[in-house]
Amino acid sequence: MTRYKFLLALALSSAWNRRGTLSLVVFSIALSTTLLLGMERVRTQVRENFVQAVSGTDLVVGARGSELQLLLYAVFHMGKASSNMGWDSAQRIAQRNDVAWTIPVSLGDSHKGFAVVGTTPDIFTRYQYRRHVALQFAQGQQFEGIFDVVLGAEVAAKEHYKLGDRVLLSHGTGDSHLTLHADKPFSVCGILAPTGTPVDRGLFISLAAMEAIHIDWQGGAPTPGFHVRPDQVNKFNLTPKSVTAGLVGLKNRARVFAAQREINADKQEALMAVMPGVALDQLWSLLRTGESALRILSWLVTVAGLAGLVATILAGLGERRRELAVLRAAGASPQDIVALLSLESLLLVLAGTLAGTALTGTLLAIFSPVLAQGFGLSLSLSWPTTTEWQLLGAINAAGFLAGLIPAWRAYRISLADGLNASA
């Protein structure tokens, strides 16, 4: 044990004397570690963000088409618009004996790039995320009047909205070149607490409000010569004719497959019931190739960092021949030389991985708010996961094995060779 303590102290002392050169090696390993951990954290958290957004939803029902398109558009407000389903079909599904609740969703309008969601007040009590957590209001309350709007946390924060502020909605989706529903402004009645889900990037109005702003529109444009003032909309029938989709919760989840088959076989309208987990698996399968490519690239960067470690130690052996010869002359065995060089390599890799882990945490703390606000990606700052610990262990193991190359070279340097080189 005393011998190993001596070798450790000697390795630390030798590394400190060459700290200028070795610090670059540690820095390169730290960067490769950061890349590996960052890629893994983003990969897992993106998947988790998608899954937790629909944790309490058993089925997403809409018009027949692409399952993935329906899920991405209706829940995550991404991709192209899907076909609408009839309101009578939505009502018929809600009245099924095995259905506990439904949340109709009507999309198509926006506000400064954020999706406008026409729905019912049930969304504030029935919608669940992150293992069955219900939505909470940070300020205000749910909509009651036709021209009330509830804002997601990100919308309110980015646009600096407060309760009572006036909001104008745009016809269509996107950021620019959209026609405003300028004659029918909305008033902010509530602001939701942050959730880390697409809810944060939505504006929620009633289905009646969605109909009201389109009363005097036809074919995606205002009807010429026909205008309805906000105080006149109550004179019209504001029951929707169609909705984008319906989020469905079942009384018994064991019925999910049967309910899906029965809804898909509906004879009154061509409907499609999607299980969110299955559709998300399709999404991950599409992204698997890209994930593998990023992982391979990250490991190549790590290998490059370890190659730099080997090259640096090998290059320094010529300068350290005198040191190694003195150690051999002082009684150190060839095995001790191997242990010394291997220990130095392991210490450098360990320092690099620790620095990389700290750098990853620092970058997460700095950029998580930016990613959440700009891309809706919620990255949590937490201790490394089991997979991340395995990655760190693999890097250190690879560093130790890489250190055996210069250790073996030092092993072959004889005592006589070292003494001659010093002459």
Q: Give, in order, the Cα–Cα distances in Å from 188 to each of 113, 162, 192.
A: 17, 7, 11
Tokens describing residue 348: 């450098």
Mean pLDDT of 148-169: 93
Confidence of residue 167 (pLDDT cuts 50, 70, 90): very high
Give the confidence band of 88 by pLDDT, cuts at 50, 70, 90.
very high
Q: Where are the domains of the chain?
A: 2-50+287-422, 59-274
DSSP-H helix ranges across 63-102: 67-74, 87-94
pLDDT tens digits, residue range 306-340? 777 777 766 666 666 666 666 666 666 666 666 66
Q: Which range is least confidently modeled, 217-221, 278-282, 295-299? A: 217-221
| Better-predicted residue by pLDDT, 51 or 395 | 395
For position 225, what pLDDT does the model report? 73
- Which pLDDT belongs to residue 3? 61
Instruction: Give the integer Cα–Cα distance in Å for 337 and 412.
Output: 10
**Cβ atoms < 10 Å from Cβ of 360:** 22
Q: Strand, coil or helix: what is 400? A: helix
Question: Given this model, what pLDDT does residue 414 score?
Answer: 45
What is the pLDDT of the chain when averaged over all its residues?
A: 80
Tokens of 158: 């980015």
**Statement: residue 422 has pLDDT above 50:** no
| Cβ proximity of 322 and 418 under 8 Å | yes
Stated pTM of the model: 0.70
Per DSSP, the three-state class of 191 is strand
> Would the CA dihedral through 249, 251, 254, 255 be positive or negative?
negative
Q: How confident is the model at residue 18 (pLDDT cuts 50, 70, 90)?
A: low
User: What does the pLDDT read at residue 305?
Assistant: 76
Name the 3-class secondary structure at 121. Answer: coil
**Which of 70-79, 218-227, 366-375, 399-408 has the least mean pLDDT?**
366-375
CA distance 264 to 247: 15
Question: For residues 205 and 350, which has the higher predicted lDDT (pLDDT)?
Answer: 205
Distances in Å between the alpha carbon of 116 and those of 104, 214, 275? 13, 13, 24
328: left (phi over 0), alpha (psi -120 to 50) or beta: alpha
42-59: average pLDDT: 78
Token pair belonging to 18: 């060459």
pLDDT at 175: 61
For residues 9 and 3, what is the distance between their CA atoms, to the nearest angstrom? Answer: 10
Q: Which of 121-130, 243-252, 306-315, 342-351 has the highest mean pLDDT?
A: 243-252
Give mean pLDDT, residues 343-349.
Answer: 79
> Residue 423: pLDDT band by 50, 70, 90 thresholds?
very low
How far is residue 366's CA from residue 372's CA, in Å, rounded to a whole number? Answer: 11
Is residue 285 within 8 A of residue 52, CB to CB? The reply is no
The percent of residues above 90 in pLDDT, for the chain, comes to 28
Task: Identify the residue whose tokens are 């899954």.
Answer: 51
Higher per-residue confidence, 190 vs 46: 190
Separation of alpha carbons 325 and 421, rounded Å: 9
Alpha helices by DSSP H, listed for 219-333, are 256-264, 276-317, 321-329
In this structure, of 132-136, 281-285, 378-382, the range with the lowest mean pLDDT score is 378-382
Higher pLDDT, 6 or 192: 192
Q: Given this model, what pLDDT does residue 310 score?
A: 74
Element (H, E) at 340: helix 334-375
- Across residues 391-407, what is the average pLDDT? 80
Amino acid identity of residue 236, one-letter, is F
**Mean per-residue pLDDT for 221-235?**
79
Q: Is the pLDDT of residue 7 over 70?
A: no
Element (H, E) at 190: strand 186-192
Among 154, 90, 162, 153, smallest CA distance to 119 is for: 90
Residue 263 has pLDDT above 80, yes or no: yes
Angle, helix 2-17 to helix 19-52, in steps of 10 degrees: 100
* Residue 63 neighbours by CB under 8 Å, 6+ apart: 70, 82, 83, 84, 85, 269, 270, 271, 272
Position 415 confidence tier, pLDDT thresholds 50, 70, 90: very low
Q: Which residue has the higher pLDDT, 190 or 385?
A: 190
Given this model, what pLDDT does residue 117 score?
Answer: 95
In this structure, of 26-30, 277-281, 286-290, 371-375, the range with the lowest mean pLDDT score is 371-375
Per mean pLDDT, which of 41-50, 187-196, 345-354 is the most reliable? 187-196
CA atoms of 108 and 142, how far apart (whole Å): 21
> Could you give the residue ranges of the DSSP H alpha helices within 213-269?
256-264
The predicted structure's pLDDT at residue 92? 93
